[in-house]
Amino acid sequence: MLLVTKALRRLMTIAGILVLAIAVPTALYAQQSVNVGAADIGGVVTGASGPEAGVWVIAETTETPTKFAKIVVTDDQGRYLIPDLPKADYTVWVRGYGLVDSAKLTVKLGQTLNHTAVAAPNAAAAAHYYPAIYWYAMMKIPDKAEFGGKSNIPEKLSQSDWLKQVKNIGCIGCHQLGQESTRTIRPPSAPSIPVRKPGYGAFRPASRASR
């Protein structure tokens, strides 16, 4: 019995040393502060499970001649640094996959600002922040058999021509498609959108179908 007790004590001591050897460097690394300069904003983003790596930190201001925003990504320890910002007060918040936007905090240059990441309550809330191209890529491509006058697609339009229009010749060549306004159907009761009629100074209401 005495031998068993001594063996257990020895194992517990070894386990404690191993845990300490692993924990100390990690703790020291996490405690490394972000070096925030006079024209910078920096800090650490943490969530329910600890540091949040790979999330966006957005700094925005309207105090510059035009609206200004700068975005950086946190490192493996949740640290971020937004450098070389124009002189102004900034609104700063966190955005990322699986999250909803964190509280928007106001900060001055040269200050350290830590953030708490907010997990999305459900998949729909998380998907709201996905980039436009994610939604655009979900578009269903008509099967090759549907071309050549076999459906409501114009007879002379081939699948390859259709794909060129969708991928790089049509609206997508100049405009972002897939954002909320292009994937949301407005209800009939929604207010009309004012559209300027060429050659006239006044605006006229336009229905959804006329756009």
As a whole number of angstroms, the distance between CA 154 and CA 67 comes to: 44
pLDDT tens figures, 134-162:
888 888 889 999 998 889 888 888 999 88
Nearest to 81 by CA among 62, 104, 57, 103: 57
* Residue-averaged pLDDT of the chain: 80
* pLDDT surpasses 70 at 16: no
| Three-class DSSP category at 104 | coil
Please provide the size of the chain in residues. Answer: 211
Nearest to 96 by CA among 126, 69, 125: 126
pLDDT value for 56: 97
In this prediction, residue 96 has a pLDDT band, given cuts at 50, 70 and 90, of very high
Nearest to 107 by CA among 43, 155, 198, 13: 43
pLDDT tens figures, 37-73:
999 999 999 999 999 999 999 999 999 999 999 999 9
pLDDT value for 190: 67
